[in-house]
Amino acid sequence: MRRRPGINRQLATVVTDTLRYANELATSLPVLTPPNTVDEKQRVISLVLFVRLIEIFEAVVVLAASGVREEQRTLFRVFLDAYFLLANCCSDVGFFPVYFRSDQCERLKLMRAASRYNDDLFATLNEYATAEVKSGIEERIKEESIQAFNSFVYAQNVGCEKIYDSMYRVCSSSVHSAPRCLENYVQTDVAGNIVGVLHREDSEATNRVLYDCEGFFLKGIHGILELFESQELTFVTRFEAALEAAGHETKP
């Protein structure tokens, strides 16, 4: 990635060094499997979410190294979703049961959607999702007051509602291929008329996504280290200083 024209080399170094450290950290943290206590379960689920965050960040790096532009924004929103979950799980021992129960709402939604079709594509699910099965899920959702997956609520829980209403929402156009994102694929004249279709790199946008991912990723590492009562918090401080220095670099 450091060899890609336009990529901030100092930033690329910080990112790759941080990911290397994170992967080593993920394999070295002590976890009890199977977990027995609530605290042990919190640690295991938090570590799983941390590995998920690592993988998404690694995917962002692959796209950056390949010169792909718009899909980095798509992945950044996916990254933020995982970050909100990790932050919740690390800071609140009562969060992961709420998080897992939300899958009941998703299951019911899928079953209801499939029931609208008499098609081979949905045959297996429709065979399983009898009226009795769906009624049982509905009753459980009602009795346990289960809430559906809600990214805004999860962001709000950890003081990230402003991030949700800015960075997260802005990236939604890329996720859904909304009209706003299409402007990045065209060349226009002074009057705003399309004069060409483009498929080009955008090193400035790439550097911004890498910088933002790195910043949140370091917060995620900090949360994991605190949860596991690790003494390695100085590593985060060093990476934060390196990121700050990379952010002031004006030339790639």
Question: SS3 sequence, 125-158?
Answer: HHHHCCHHHHHHHHHHHHHCCCCCCCHHHHHHHC
Q: What are the sequence ranges of the domains in the chain?
A: 9-92+159-247
Residues 249, 12: Cα–Cα separation, whole Å: 12
pLDDT for 2 equals: 59
Residues of the chain above pLDDT 90, percent:
83
Predicted TM-score (pTM) of the model is: 0.92
Q: pLDDT tens digit string along 57-67?
A: 999 999 999 88
The arithmetic mean of pLDDT across residues 8-20, rounded, is: 95
- Both structure tokens of 138: 């509905």
Instruction: State the amino acid at position 15 in one-letter form.
Output: V
pLDDT for 49 equals: 98
3-state SS, 19-33, equals HHHHHHHHHHCCCCC
The arithmetic mean of pLDDT across residues 135-141, rounded, is: 97
Instruction: State the amino acid at position 192 in one-letter form.
Output: G
The arithmetic mean of pLDDT across residues 144-165, rounded, is: 98
pLDDT surpasses 90 at 137: yes
